Amino acid sequence: MKKRTGAIGAAGAVLVLAAAAPIVQASSHRETYATRVDPCIDNTDTYAWVEPGTHDKLNIVFNFLPLHEPGQGNQQLGPCEDVLYEVHIARGTGPLKDVVTYQIKFDTNPAPRVDPGDGTKPLTLKDGRELLDQISGRSQFYTVTKIEAGAKKGKVIGRGLPVSPSNVGPQTDRLAYNIPAIDPSCTQFQGYDSGDRTSREVGCYNEAFTARFINPLGDNGSEGRIWAGQAADFYYLDEKGIFDVLNLAGDPASSFVKVNGTRLQVAGARQMPQAENVFTGFNLFSIALEIPTSKLTGTGQPPAHNGTPGDDTLLAIHVSESRPRVRVLSKERYEKDKGRGKFVRVGRNALPLFNAGLVGVQDQEKYLRSNPLDDFDNFGTYVLNPILVRDAEALGIYKALGVDPVPDSLKFNRVDLLKIVDLDDIPFPGAHHVPISPRTVGDVLRVDMAIDSSFPNGRPIIGGIDRNHEQADVSDVLLTVILSPDPSTVQIGDGVDFSAAQRRLAFPWIPVALQGLTQGHGEPAN
């Protein structure tokens, strides 16, 4: 087997192949103590890509509040009102300073208060006496503010926008959401006494219903569209094995090693259980933005030199979560808690695997609270000297693959990884050049607006071989680039190649939420 030579060239070849090969996404579900205790800031995945061919729209989808059991909880799933969610977009090859920022802030209309002792008032579906949230009248909405560099203040481009509700079950579809009124194929509610079980067994929640919560931004939609709501997790990874100190599957069906695309059985690796997607069957919260690229070029026009990459059409995208510095608790309820002082960044996300796969535990929370402008100084050494390679060496993975000793070019001075983060010479030599220097290199998703997106030029949800594959299995791509002694022939991944969920056919793209009644986890009573 070849040892690694010409790391930059081999890695680049793998990334070009990624545009045509389906692969797994890697994300950051609960990667630190901070995100474990505060799931509202736990940003799991960020996707960004331009509309293929026309390049007239930029899609950004980001997820948080992961691992939600569909059938769990009266309160269902919703965003936190005291968190400021932001999408940051820089442009060009200079410092990673925002040219446009989109702020998204959620709020709640509480359930109407009714005297619980008042027996004369008839029960309605908007009554704070009800025990279940979805029939209490409580609802969530949000405001979107756009801030352009140099402006004295932001401009509200969306206000009072409704959140897409949770997928609870058939009776909720009819009683709380009144879907029969908008969808003739959904039968009217009938009670137990009717003898007809349809209202308790056949749901009506679907893509068409949730699409009603797509909201225009700006005057007549001039600033694009947005959607926010519960969705099925599109993430797929054998995280159980990964988190058992890289206990990867080596059986023929799900081996973590492929040679020229064919799985290689690794005798010393675990044969049972096979690799499994631990995120199958869980929901999360998602926000999707569709922005006209003419709003991002700086000229007010569509991308120049359409079809040809260039530094002037290169965007750098990341998302963040912030909380007020001080929180004042209300004696009555959570929605009345008040934040005081400036917002403080407590979470962020862009490239898959950056924090969870490159930054050490000692600095992972520092990463969450810092800015990509400072990533080169704060975390550049981690990228240049990936600890994952030394861990794999210590576990005997390289010897099992016939690589002994492991070349220093894999373990140290990995400038090739910084070039990938920068999109340097991708998708071909001379396409882009971002200086490897402080304030220009950081954890951002680079997207060239002038050409079709394919990871690492963006991260498209669309473009996979079918609806349960991403355009690229990014975790396999990145594990290969980081670990493989010869990326052109030896691919290293986790053994899981697709999601159980299927993406939508149109905006907001992320899969429809799993139904609590029939798609939640559990076993029959008998």
Q: Is 183 in contact with 149 (CB distance < 8 Å)?
A: no
| Helix (H) / strand (E) containing 7 | helix 7-18
CA distance 153 to 175: 42
Distance of CA 47 to the CA centre of its chain: 6
DSSP letters spanning 294-312: GGTSSSSSSPSSTTS--GG
CA distance 357 to 360: 8
C-alpha distance from residue 4 to each of 246, 260, 479 (Å): 21, 15, 15
Evaluate the omega torsion of the peptide bond into residue 435 and state whether it is cis, within 30 degrees of 0: no
Four-residue CA torsion sign, 463, 460, 145, 299 = negative
Residue with the two structure tokens 């059409």: 313
Is residue 192 packed enough to be buried (19+ CB in 10 Å), middle (13-18) or exposed (0-12)? Answer: exposed
Q: Which residues of 315-328 are buried (b: 16+ CB within 10 A; e: fewer)?
A: bbbbbbbbbbeeee
For residue 122, what is the DSSP state? P
CA distance 273 to 226: 41
DSSP letters spanning 426-450: -SSTTS-----STTT--S-EEEETT
CA distance 404 to 419: 27
First to last CA, the chain: 54
pLDDT at 28: 57
107-112, Cβ contacts within 8 angstroms, sequence gap of 24 or more:
107/81, 107/140, 107/141, 107/142, 107/143, 108/81, 108/138, 108/139, 108/140, 108/141, 108/335, 109/137, 109/138, 109/139, 109/140, 109/141, 110/138, 110/333, 110/335, 111/136, 111/137, 111/138, 112/137
The pLDDT tens digits along the chain (526 residues) read 434 433 334 444 444 434 333 333 345 566 666 777 788 989 999 999 999 999 999 999 999 999 999 998 667 778 888 999 999 999 999 999 999 999 999 999 999 999 999 888 777 888 999 999 999 999 999 999 999 999 989 999 999 999 999 999 999 999 999 999 999 999 999 999 999 999 999 999 999 999 999 999 999 999 999 999 999 999 889 989 998 999 999 999 999 999 999 999 999 999 999 999 989 999 999 999 999 999 999 999 999 999 999 999 999 999 999 999 998 887 776 666 778 889 999 999 999 989 999 999 999 999 999 999 999 999 999 999 999 999 999 999 999 999 999 999 999 999 999 999 999 999 999 999 999 999 999 999 999 999 999 999 999 999 999 999 999 998 899 999 999 999 999 999 999 999 999 999 999 999 999 999 999 888 888 7
For residue 85, what is the DSSP state? E
Residue with the two structure tokens 């695309």: 261
State the angle between helix axes of 415-422 and 474-483 in degrees (0 to 180), rounded to the nearest 10: 150
pLDDT at 329: 80
pLDDT at 37: 78
State the angle between helix axes of 7-18 and 415-422 in degrees (0 to 180), rounded to the nearest 10: 40
